[in-house]
A and B are shown apart, each in its own frame.
Chain A
Amino acid sequence: MTYVPHTDADRAEMLAAIGVERVEDLFHDVPTACRFPELKLPEPLSEMEIMAELQAMSEENLDVNHFTSFLGAGAYNHYVPRIVDHVISRSEFYTAYTPYQPEISQGTLQSIFEYQSMICALTGMEVANASHYDGATSTAEAVIMALNVARGKRKRVILSPLIHPEYRAVIRTYTQGMGLDIVGDDDPASTMDDLTALLDDNTACLIVQSPNFFGQIEDLAGLADRVHAARAMLVVVADPISLGLLKPPGDHGADIVVGEGQALGNGLNFGGPYLGFFACREKDVRKSAGRLVGQTVDAEGRRGFVLTLSTREQHIRRERATSNICTNQALCALATAVHLAALGKTGLRKLAELCYHKAHYAANRIAALDGYQVAMEGLFFKEFVVRCPAPVKAINDFLLEEWGIIGGYDLARDYPGLQNHMLLCVTEVIRREEIDALVEALAEAAREVTP
C-alpha cells in the first residue's frame, strides 16, 4: 500500500503523454552506478499488521496512565481535555501547510492570532510568536535575539544555573560558532546577586527560569532594573501553568519571556512534539525570530489575518534573516490555545492552585519522614527537591518494583554535588491516595534500600 491511486492503464497513458516507455527512463540523470540501489528494509505490512506490531511495541513501555509518575523536570503530566484532540484532529487544521495563502488559511491564521493574544495575556508581554520547537530552542532563540538587539556588539550571556540543564546545553550548541562568553551557571548555589554581579557592558542578556529547575519561584522584583542598568535584556523562562497564579514576568519588566508550552494541551509523548512559546516587547519585534500573525483587512474592508513582518524571515531575508526557523510547532500551539480557552480566566487559576496545594501537601508529608529532607526555604510551585537517604536510582527502583510508582528525577545527572537529591513533581492528575502511597513507599525505601 503506497497510497498511489494509479491503475496500470493510468501509468501507461501517462508515460505515453510524457513520451517515455518506462518509468525508469525518467531517471537518466541519476549516475548509473548509484541508480536503483537495493534497500534492505523489513517486508511491507498491512495496516492491521502494523497496528498489531505497534500495539505490542507500545506495551513494552510502562506508561503514566498505569503507573503513578512523579517525574517533571520540563515535561509535565497534566490532564488534557478531550476537546483539544477533537480540534487538532480536524483535517482542515492538521493536514494544512504553513498559511502562505491567507485567503484560504484564515482558520490557521486566526487561531494563531488568538494563541498569540492568550500568550501575551499569560506572560504580560506585548507580542508573542507561534512558535518554536520547544522550551529549549525558544530560550536559545531569545539569546540570539538579545545579541541582535545589541547589534552583535555584546558577547556575554549570563545564565542562571537553575535553568533547565538541557536548555543551557541547547544554548551552547546553537551559539558554538559565535564566540560568546557564557557565564553564571557553574555553581548551582549562585544567588541572584551573584548573577547580577556578572553584568557588564559586554552583556547581551541575563536569563533566569522561574519556577526554576528545582521548582522554586525566583524573586524577580527589581531584577529587570539591575539588568537594564547594564543595558542588557532580561529573559525569563516561565512555566505557563504557574502563570495562572503568579505575577507574569512582563509585570516584572522582562524583555523576553519564553518557555515550554507542552503542559498546556500537549501530552508527554516521550519528549515531543512540544512547543516553545516566545513573547517580547513590540519595540524589539523586528529582531525576533519565527512566525507572526497580524490583523489586517481584506479588499472589502473585512477583518482578516496574515503572516506579517516576514522580512525578518529566511524565505525573504535569506542570510540576513533573524533565524532560519520555518516549520515549527503550529498544531501544538493550536492545542495550547484550545486548552487555554477551555480553562479560561478562572480555570487556569484553579488548575495552578490544584498543582500548588497538592505539591505542598506532598512536600510537607515527605519532610516529616525520617531520612528525607525537603528544601523548604523559598517558595515553590509544583516541583520540589528531596534529599534521600540513598541514591535516587536505588530509591526509584524500589518505588517501581514494590509500589508501581515512577519516582522523581535524579538531580545528580546534571549537578554532581547533588547526589541523593530527587526532584519530585505533583500536578492535578495525582490524587491524594497516590501521594499518600508515595509517602509510605518512601518511608519503606528508607528502611529497605541500603545507602
Chain B
Amino acid sequence: MKADFGVRCAGAEPVIYELSKAGRIATTLPALDVPKADLPPAAWLRDELDLPEVSELDLMRHYVRLSQLNWAIDVGFYPLGSCTMKYNPKVNEAAARLPGFAATHPYQDPHIVQGNLMLMYTLQDMLKEVGGFAGVTLQPAAGAHGELTGVLIMRAYHVDRGEPQRTRVIVPDSAHGTNPATTSMAGMEVIEVPSDVRGNIDLEALEAVCGETVCGLMLTNPNTLGLFEEQLVEVIGRIHACGGLVYGDGANFNALMGIAKPGDLGFDVMHFNLHKTFSTPHGGGGPGAGAVGASEALAPFLPGPIVQLCRCGDAACDCGCDREEVEEDALCFHLVMPEKSIGRVKAFYGNFGVLVRAYTYIRMLGAPGLREVSEMAVLNANYLKSQVRDIFAISHERTHMHEFVAKGIVPEAPDVHALDIAKRLIDYGFHPPTNYFPLIVPEALMIEPTETESRETLDAFADALRSIRDEALTDPEVLHEAPHSAPVRRLDEVRAARQPIFRWQGE
C-alpha cells in the first residue's frame, strides 16, 4: 500500500495572489438601501488594499487543490503520539451547525439562550463526573490555555491562603513543552525532575525539591511514554504533604475514561482536551477546547463565567426572565463568576461550537461507551506494540496505556534516524508518529493508534515499519531521501528560518 498523491497534484498550486486578476470577485453584496453618509476625511481612509481578486470557481478550485495536498484522518491512519487523532464523527458537525446554536450572539440575555446554557451546564456536569471534579469551566480554548488556567488557579489558591512564596512548579522531564512554557508564562519558576528507569517520576529527586516554595506539580498521566505512573499515590501524597497542588495535563485522558477519575486519584485541577479525547476535529491546528476541572478547594478560583442552575424566583437570579410571568419554582440557567475567580481567560464563554461537538459525542456514548473507548485505545496501543517490538525497541517494556514510544534505531544502519523512518512512512501511506518527543528517549517515535483504527490498519502499519527497517539495511538512501511520493520533497527548514518570507511579496 503506497500513497499516490501524483495524480491529484500534477504541479504546485499557485499562491492565491498569483491567480488574481483586477476586476474579479467571488462574492455578491446587497445594494445600498439607505442614503449615503459622509465618509471620514480622506486622510483617515486607506488608498491601497492588496487583496487577491478571483472568481468563485477559481477560489473553490484553489482550496480544493490545496486540500488535496494535506494528510488527514479522513484520508488515512494518523498515529501521532499524544495528539489522539481519532475519527471525528460527522454528526458532531451537523450538531454544531444547527442554526439555533450557531446563530446566537454571546451577549443575548440568558433567558433567550437557555438552550445553549443548558448544553453547557450539562457538559460541565458530565465532565465533572468523568473527571471526578467538583467544578468545571468551559472557557479555555485549547489544552495549553487550560494549563495556563490551571497554573494561575494554583497560584491564586496559595496567594489566597497567604502563601505567595509558593512560586515553583515541578515538571517531569517527560512533560509536554507546554507545561514548562505555561509555568513561565504564569510568572512561576520551573523545577525539572527526572524519570527513573521504569519511566516513572524519580521519587527521590521529587522528594528533594519538595518544600514550602512549591506551588505544585504538573503531571501528565499516563505520561508521554504512554505509561501510568506506578507510584502515583506516593507522588501525589508527597506534593500534598509539602503543601503543593497537583495539576493534571489531560492530553492523555483518552486512556482513562471510566478507568479512573483523576479527581479520585488526587489531582486537584486538570484540563480536558475536548479536541483529543472527545472527538472534536483538530482543524489543522485548532479550534480546540480545554475545559478545566477542579476540586472542591480550587473550584472557587475557576475562570468564568460558568453556567449555574438557579430558581427564577431567587433574588440572586439575573437570567433576565420576567419574574411576574414565570412560576415561582421555575428553573433557569445563568452565567456566574466563581467567587474567587482568577478572572476571564478569553472573551465570552469558550469555544461553544466545539463544546456542542463534545456534548454530542458524550451523549451518544454514555458511560459504557466512554469506558469502551479507553479500553480499546489501550488495547490498540498494546496490540500494535506487540507487532512492532521485534522491529524497533520499545522505550520501556511495561504494559502501556494508549500510546507507546519506539526507538527509531537500526543498530546495523547507524546513519538511519527516526526522521528518515518517519518520512519513509509517508511513502507507505501513513502519517508519521510524533518524532523526537519525548526528549528523554533517543530517536523517539511516539505512536498513538487510538480506538477508532481497525486491526487491519494496525497490521499494515507494522508491516510498513518492518519493510522500512529492511530498507534501512539494504537501501538506506531511499530512507534518507524520503518521502518520494508526497506533493513536495523534504523542505529546507534552515533556509525558511534564515531568509524568512512570511507573506507573498509578488512574483
Contacts and interface: CB of A to CB of B under 8 A. Distances in A.
B352 interface: yes
Contact of B371 (A39, A75, A88): A39
Contact of B322 (A89, A110, A343, A397): A397
B73 A95 contact: yes
Nearest to A141: B185
Contacts of A314: 144, 176-178, 180-182
A295 B501 CA distance: 5
Interface string B487-502: 1111111011100111
5 contacts: A14-B455, A103-B488, A107-B69, A118-B52, A178-B187
Contacts of B141: 133-134, 137, 272-273, 329
A321 interface: yes
Interface stretch (B202-210, B227-235, B240-248, B468-476): B227-235
B287 A273 contact: yes
Contacts of B382: 18, 26
Interface in A161-211: 164, 166-167, 169-170, 172-179
A356 B39 contact: yes
A317 B180 CA distance: 9
A424 interface: no
Given A298-B492, A341-B16, A341-B52, A108 B423 contact: no
A146 interface: no
Given A297-B492, A341-B52, A111 B63 contact: yes
Interface in B260-283: 260-261, 264-265, 275, 279, 281-283
A373 interface: no
B467 interface: no
Contacts of A313: 177
B437 interface: yes
Given A103-B491, A272-B352, A273-B141, A92 B70 contact: yes
A93 B284 contact: yes
B34 A4 contact: no
Given A36-B260, A40-B367, A107-B68, 5 more contacts: A36-B258, A92-B72, A268-B102, A317-B181, A341-B26
B99 to A, nearest CB: 6
Contact of B363 (A45, A85, A431): A45
A50 B356 CA distance: 11
A2 interface: yes
Nearest to A104: B71
Interface string A268-286: 1111111100000010010
Nearest to B264: A34
A241 interface: no
A50 B363 contact: yes
Nearest to B494: A296
A65 interface: yes
B186 to A, nearest CB: 5
A102 B104 contact: no
A440 interface: no
Given A5-B453, A298-B488, A323 B342 contact: no
Q: Which 3 A-B pairs have the closest CB atoms?
A: A271-B348, A58-B100, A177-B187
B358 interface: no
Contact of B99 (A5, A65, A323, A344): A65
Q: Which of A62, A244, A269 has most B Cβ within 10 Å?
A: A269
B488 A106 contact: yes
A348 interface: yes
Contact of B423 (A103, A294, A319): A103
B44 A409 contact: no
A269 B26 contact: no
A302 interface: yes
Nearest to A299: B489
Q: Which of A61, A65, A300, A315 has most B Cβ within 10 Å?
A: A61
Contacts of B100: 55, 57-61, 63
Nearest to B97: A85
A261 interface: no
A245 B41 CA distance: 11
A251 interface: yes
Contacts of B501: 294-296
